[in-house]
Structure 1
Amino acid sequence: MKYRTIGTDPKTRREVSVLALGAMLFGSVTDEKTSFAILDRYVEAGGTFIDTSDNYAFWIDDSQGGQSEELLGRWRRSRGIGDEIVIATKLGARPLAPGTGYIDNPEGLSPKVIRESAERSRDRLGVEKIDLLYAHIEDRTVPLRDTVEGFGELVAEGTVGLLGVSNHAIWRVERARALSAAAGLPGYEVLQYQHSHLRPRTDVPQPLFPEGNLGNAGAELLSYLKAEPGLTLVAYSPLLTGAYVRQDKPLPPDFDHPGTPARLAVLREVAKETGATVNQVVLAWQTGGRLPVIPLAGASSVAQLDENLAAVDLELTEDQRARLDAAH
């Protein structure tokens, strides 16, 4: 396994594995026995960075979520897991009532919700301190300063380590970070967005972003990452939920543009040259790139996890990287 550091403050920064494990469906679609086996194998291979949310997976049974955090809590207790494993969770998108959704009825990002939701996550996970806590989705009904102060208080109290943000417009991220800095408070240091080798159109409306796909790590976010040393991008859905390799998993409509076939062709060329799978090339392209990117990949079986883990040791040549970057 290889590792990188997230965060800049010596008091809160953490060293984590360059491949993060997504636990979204653990305890719901993925049963407990299989989930535990995947988690055990990940740790055995040197993995130290696990991702969940307080609303996973509410859409499976019209609940409010929490199944994933609860399973991770049971796994931690049964295995004697301590702070050597970094567990990140999110808040802000948990439905306020069963049978509702994160768009029409989210918990939001008020200071009261931040405090109460973080406490519930700590209880489910069985931890005294949440290693990394994200603002999951935007809440424009609450002043940004209130949200910043709500998160900052938890860090000051020692119940949260690092702060992160997901699925926010970049100008909102920058504004929040500026407010934090001006107030002498800790700010967002980890950004979680969808990012893969294939690039979607950003002008296609999404449920969270009717004005365009702002939840994707497009050119603006990647430029921001270059300009702000100390930030890390955790890239969710790096393998596009299997769409690279499975005929039954078509690419979403926003990938239907002339650049997609060109980038797929180069991916397949490099996979053939290296003897790796297309999925492994995508992950290796992210973990070994110049930008601080940590792919966040889920797994529904140990075999699937092992394929992902093998990507950590895949070394792409400079020529291969240049071709992957240049394809459009």
Structure 2
Amino acid sequence: MKYRTIGTGPHSRRVSVLALGAMLFGSMTDEKTSFAVLDRYVEAGGNFIDTSDNYAFWTDGGQGGQSEQLLGRWRRSRGAGDEIVVATKLGARPLAPGTSYTDNPEGLSAKVIREASERSRERLGMERLDLLYAHIDDHTVPQRETVEAFGDLVAEGTVGLLGVSNQAVWRVERARALAAQAGLPGYEVLQYHHSLLRPRSDVPSDLFPDGNLGHVGPEMAGYLRAEPGLTLVAYSPLLGGAYARPERLPGDYDHPGSPARLAVLHEVARETGATPGQVVLAWQIGHELPILPLAGASSVAQLDENLAAVDLELSPEQWARLDAAH
């Protein structure tokens, strides 16, 4: 396994370059399989696990919490401690069963941030959350209130690092500026959707009908270059298995650029003897930008395929072709 440091302050952590997504653990992926995948990940040197307080509310019409609960049971049964870095999120949990984060989210008020983080710590069995994200934006609450509420948790020692997901770049920068002005910790880890294929920006996204705020575009890439202390955690790097099963490709990826990029991807895969998905993960892991791919796995075999990407070396010429394809 290879590792990278996230964060710049006293709570910075050294994490594996391939993060494990636990979104469907405890719901779509049963406990026995989830435990087996987690055990294999740790055996391979992995130590960076990602979840959220709303995973997976859509599987049973509830409010989520299944993933955190399963991870808590796994941590306790394995005696896991600080060597395992667990990241979770708040702000997008539906307030009532049968509703959604798009129409009834918990939001980012000071009250929610405190209460939701306490519930996450209880479910996970952790005295301190290693990394806590603002999952989605909340325009109904002043950003200063959100920034101060997150800062209070860090000061109290119940949260280590802070992160943000699915917000416009200008909102992220404003929040970080407010934190800096107040002498408070700010967001240091950004979790956004990023893959080799790129969605159209002029049509509603399958995930983000308000405008692809969750996708890494040129503006976010430029922001990462300008702020070297930030790290990007790239979720859905394999597009839900679409590199192996093209029929799964979301509709907003149906444009002339996708076939060109796929053609280069498959060329590199043949040259390296790797799968297209492994090439995508290797491309992210070795990228000039500080990217940590976050990939889920519903079986040990699927995880092992992803883990093989950590040691896949691409040549400079292959890098150039992948980056230039459009």
Q: TM-score range by the shorter chain?
A: over 0.9
1:35–1:197 distance in 2 versus 1, CA, 3 Å: same
| Count of residue pairs brought into register by the alignment | 326
What is the rounded CA distance, in whole Å, between the counterparts of 1:188 and 1:277 in structure 2?
A: 34
Structure 2: unaligned runs, 5 residues or longer = none
SS at match of 2:188: strand
Partner of 1:36: 35
TM-score (norm 2): 0.99
What is the rounded CA distance, in whole Å, between the counterparts of 1:207 and 1:243 in structure 2?
A: 14
AA aligned opposite 1:120: R
What is the rounded CA distance, in whole Å, between the counterparts of 2:30 and 2:47 in structure 1?
A: 21
SS at match of 1:289: coil
How many percent of aligned residue pairs carry the same amino acid? 79
Which consecutive aligned stretches of 4+ in structure 1 deviate over 3 angstroms post-superposition? 206-211
Partner of 1:154: 153
AA aligned opposite 1:294: L
Partner of 1:169: 168
The superposition leaves residues 216-256 of structure 1 with CA deviations (integer Å, 9 ceiling, x where unpaired) of 0111111100010110000000000000111442x111111
Q: What is the root-mean-square deviation in Å for CA atoms of aligned residues? A: 0.9
1:276–1:210 distance in 2 versus 1, CA, 3 Å: closer
Shift of 1:257: 1.1
AA aligned opposite 2:238: L
Shift of 1:304: 0.2
Partner of 1:263: 261
The superposition leaves residues 119-169 of structure 1 with CA deviations (integer Å, 9 ceiling, x where unpaired) of 000000000000000000010000000000010000000000000000001
Shift of 1:203: 2.3
Partner of 1:280: 278
1:69-218 equivalence runs, <5 A:
69-206=68-205, 209-218=208-217
The superposition leaves residues 21-67 of structure 1 with CA deviations (integer Å, 9 ceiling, x where unpaired) of 00000000000000000000000000010000000000000010000
1:6 and 1:14 in contact (8 A); partners too: yes
AA aligned opposite 2:2: K
Partner of 1:230: 229
What is the rounded CA distance, in whole Å, between the counterparts of 1:41 and 1:208 in structure 2?
A: 30
Q: Which moved more, 1:211-220 or 1:318-327?
A: 211-220
TM-score (norm 1): 0.98
1:103 and 1:208 in contact (8 A); partners too: no
Given candidates 291, 307, 317, the residue that maps to 1:319 is 317
AA aligned opposite 2:114: R
What is the rounded CA distance, in whole Å, between the counterparts of 1:199 and 1:247 in structure 2?
A: 14
1:202 and 1:214 in contact (8 A); partners too: no
AA aligned opposite 2:140: T
Shift of 1:209: 4.7
AA aligned opposite 2:178: L
What is the rounded CA distance, in whole Å, between the counterparts of 2:183 and 2:205 in structure 1?
A: 35
What is the rounded CA distance, in whole Å, between the counterparts of 1:96 and 1:81 in structure 2?
A: 31
